[in-house]
Amino acid sequence: MFARRIAARLYSTAITSAKPVEGFVGAIGNTPLVRIPSLSKQTGSEILGKAEWMNPGGSVKDRAALFVVKDAEERGLLKPGGTVVEGTAGNTGIGLAHVCRAKGYKCVIYMPNTQSQEKIDLLRMLGADVRPVPAVPFTDPANYNHQAREYAEKLTNAVWTNQFDNIANRRAHIETTGPEIWSQTSGTIDAFVCATGTGGTLAGTTRYLKEISQNRVRCFLADPPGSVLFALQQTGQLERTGASSITEGIGQGRLTDNLSPDFKLLDGAVHITDEETIAMLYRLLDEEGMFIGASSALNVVAAVKVAEKLGRGKKVVTVVCDGAYRYQSRLFSRKWLDAKGLFEAIPEDLRKYVSL
């Protein structure tokens, strides 16, 4: 009787099926939606973060990795023993390396050499062939994406998954992230906001939420310094600023194919500075014990701004893309923070967490 009561309680709070899932790829998605108490209290709205760090590869990009590989299989581009090649700042590569391992494919990753050592080490441990290349803009033929495409073209039974312009990426969020958020809020979500790298998460989730709510849910872009999208959304002009950001995996210099069909659906955009991001990152660690990456902290700052803009009593959802573990040597290092001019942005009583 007692056991049955506990079981009933467990099942009523669980969002995932109680049934076993099939291997690594079966554990992707169905992440919890986490209410952030301190920020909900501050804003008078519910601030909710999709806990994407709980994906088995540790980030939101597991979803896209699974969908682009499945898409290549379904289109007959990838056969047993084949090779998956991708240009990625890290998290997609980690998702792809896991998915390839589970499905028996080889995995080759081209990435800009500005990325954190933790991500490179992890990729290598997962068996990926990692090729760091100079960080040059997309317009340069030596950009990591072009190098990935060219390498895949030289191989047989190989696919360049092309996360930026392959809309199977966006489909992952139309078919999983969007429906999960809708169901977890029982359709009462008022707003969604997140930053973009490829644009898959923002565009796919926005598309689903706009359609299911008949345009009631308001959707916003969050953008770091150096990205062109904030200005593009606000003014329609694509202007490069030459600024840069400490956030990894977000910010964009163009409208990718994942973004372009749905960019016009957005209701607005918020620009977030690195100072705001780092202060939120430390605050969430202190107040909530949340140990999250910089793109996630930026998303949470944006969720607070959207909540303040919409007025009290709303439900605002954002994405907690990954944990801080992958960036520890930077985000918690005094030397690195000083080099970025960001130590002073951390409130004085939280500087005790700067431990490296």
For ligand PMP, the closer CB: 91 or 166: 91
How many residues at the interface with ligand PMP, by CB under 6 A?
20
Return the range that interacts with ligand PMP (CB under 6 A); candidates 67-75, 198-206, 215-223, 260-268. 198-206
> By CB neighbour count within 10 A (0-12 exposed, 13-18 middle, 19+ buried), where does 241 fall?
exposed
Can you tell me which of 28, 295, 330, 337 binds ligand PMP, judged by CB under 6 A?
295
Distance in Å, CB of 312 to ligand PMP, minimum: 28
Q: How far does CA 50 lie from the centroid of its chain?
A: 10
Q: Which of residues 71-100 bind ligand PMP (CB under 6 A)?
A: 89, 91
Neighbours of 67 (CB within 10 A): 28
Q: Do residues 356 and 331 lie in contact, with contact meaning Cβ atoms separated by under 8 Å?
A: no
For ligand PMP, the closer CB: 89 or 314: 89
Lookup result for tokens 């919409």:
310
* Dihedral angle sign, alpha carbons of residues 232, 236, 242, 243: negative
Q: Do residues 30 and 138 lie in contact, with contact meaning Cβ atoms separated by under 8 Å?
A: no
| Residue 322 touches ligand PMP, criterion: CB under 6 A | yes
Distance in Å, CB of 9 to ligand PMP, minimum: 34
Q: Which residue, 51, 49, 46, 50, is CA-closest to 315?
A: 46
| Residue 198 touches ligand PMP, criterion: CB under 6 A | yes
Q: How many residues are there in the chain?
A: 356
| Residue 245 touches ligand PMP, criterion: CB under 6 A | no
Residue type, 239: E
Active site positions, annotated: 61
Q: Do residues 303 and 188 lie in contact, with contact meaning Cβ atoms separated by under 8 Å?
A: no
Nearest residue by C-beta to ligand PMP? 249
Distance in Å, CB of 139 to ligand PMP, minimum: 19
| Residue 199 touches ligand PMP, criterion: CB under 6 A | yes
| Residue 321 touches ligand PMP, criterion: CB under 6 A | yes
Can you tell me which of 33, 47, 56, 61 binds ligand PMP, judged by CB under 6 A?
61
Lookup result for tokens 């191989």:
155
For ligand PMP, the closer CB: 266 or 321: 321
40: enclosing H helix or E strand: helix 37-43
Distance in Å, CB of 298 to ligand PMP, minimum: 9
Q: Which residue, 35, 294, 196, is CA-closest to 204?
A: 196
For ligand PMP, the closer CB: 49 or 293: 293
Distance in Å, CB of 64 to ligand PMP, minimum: 6
Q: Which of residues 153-182 bind ligand PMP (CB under 6 A)?
A: none
Query: Which tokens belong to 273?
Result: 């500075």
| Residue 293 touches ligand PMP, criterion: CB under 6 A | yes
For ligand PMP, the closer CB: 59 or 162: 59
Q: Could you tell me the CA-to-CA distances from 73 to 19, 26, 62, 178, 293 in Å, in that order?
A: 26, 17, 17, 24, 32
Applying CB under 6 A, the residues found at the interface with ligand PMP are: 59-61, 89, 91, 195-202, 248-250, 293, 295, 321-322
